Structures are given as structure tokens and as C-alpha cells.
Amino acid sequence: MRVGRAIAAGILVLMVTGAVIAFGLGPLDAPVRAPEPQVQPETQPDTPSSTEPKHPQPPAATERADERARMVEQQIARQRRGRQPIKDQAVLRAMGVVPRHVFVPKARRRQAYDDSPLPIGYGQTISQPYIVAMMSELLELKEDAKVLEIGTGSGYQAAVLAHLTPNVYTLEIIDPLFERAAGVLRKQDYGAVRTRRGDGYFGWVEHAPFDAIIVTCAAGHLPPPLWEQLKPGGRIVIPIGGPYEVQRLIVVTKQLDGSRRSLTVMSVRFVPMTREE
């Protein structure tokens, strides 16, 4: 997810996680031929898949637990400054467990549980906790769902998703962020998350179809490859709009007959999705 600073229109300040770089504009259903990208091999899960989901147990979860509890209670589960409270109990539990402070640069760790985004380097940010929780809730993941994240960034969003389902796939386009996030995920018992360095516009066709896709950067249109890789009945959470203008955070659901149903959640402002040259 290539992300920079993002400011929500109106009463809510939003920032997004991750770091997929922008992509150009085009018609919604324009046919696109995928290039032959040079990508690094994906990471493999540390443990084989099982019918019983593995619940991550990050070692750093024992640290700063009181701060996370306050974060969840005050920033996420409570109606505040016009925000609708997050009600999904699985999401709330995940937000209370994932050690956000290990996903931010050391110089910023004192602010890790503040109600704000934080820079993670390379012009990117980690989203404020409420936005991570809200987008996770909008995915409506079941325990065995397969979810694709476009833009790994710090790895924090992927870690939250890993508490909701064992089938998390995440793409990052910036090499240093990819390496750092993959390392932190492994150290914090999120080794089952599959990570790959690559252009998120084209998704991850080898592991398609997905039950849900989360995009954390603004696109001028819904990328057709992502739509093709979504299962019928699945949903994509994505900001849609032109670069450097107010966009719409929308949930696009693929109906069983293949048609689309879109729901606008709020007005937001994200940095644009970009492609590799």
C-alpha cells in the first residue's frame, strides 16, 4: 500500500497504512495486460496450513498492554468526534493484541498508541488505529477467509488481519519497507502471513481468488485485475478518486451473478496508487 499523509474530509482525519505506489488513471473496465514483473519470491508460511486456525502470539504483546487497552476503549470502541464505534469483537480483540509499537520506527515508539498516523520512512505512514480497525471491520472476514492486502507498509494492517484469518497475503512495492515489514512479521509470530514485493495493481493471481481485498491507496478506478481475483460474494475496500483530491472510501461487493454493488463509506484523501516503471 503506498501511502503518504491522508486527511479525511470533514470531521475525521484519516491516514492509511502501507505503501503501494500510485497508478495512472483509466476507464473502470479497461482491459489491462499484466507485464512480466521482476518480483522477489514470496515468503512461505512458517507452519503448514491446518483446519484449525493458528492464533498468532506476538512476543511483544506483553509490552504496553495498558496503552493498547486504552487505545481500543477510547479511540476505537467508543463513539468520538463523529466517529462510528467499531463493534466487531474480533477486530477489537486483534487491535488489543497486536503490538503496534514494534511496527513503527524506534524514534516514534513513544507515540505508537496515539490517535494519529505516524511516519515510517520513504514518505509513507502507518495509519491511525481507528482507520486500521474500521477498514478491517468493513472487510467482514470469516475465520477461514482468504484476504489480499495491497500495500504492506509497516506490516501492522497485515498483523491485525492475521488475527481474523490465517490466510493473509500482502504486497509491497518499496523494497526497504518490504524487507522491514516481513522481518517484523516473522519475529512477532506472524510468519503465516505471505508477503511479496511487487506491483499491487495486478494483485496476486497465483493465489486468487480472494474472499476480500483491502487497498490502502487511492486509485482513479477499481483495478480490473483485482476485481477479477475477487470471489463472487467477496468485497473490496478501496479509496476511489483522482490524486490529491477528496476521494471516496467505498466497499465494492461482487454479486453472485458477477455484478457490482458499491457503498460509499466516507470522504477521504489518500496518496494515489502508482505503478512500477
The CA distance from 31 to 56, in Å, is 39
Q: Cis omega (within 30 of 0) on the bond before 272?
A: no
Cβ atoms of 101 and 64 within 8 Å: the answer is yes
SS3 110: helix
DSSP codes joined into one string, 166-180 = SEEEEEE-SHHHHHH
Pairing of strands 247-254, 230-240: antiparallel
Which candidate in 127, 136, 154, 267 is catalytic? 127
The CA distance from 270 to 133, in Å, is 17
Is-catalytic flag, 50?
no
Nearest to 258 by CA among 24, 17, 4, 29: 29
Catalytic residues: 127
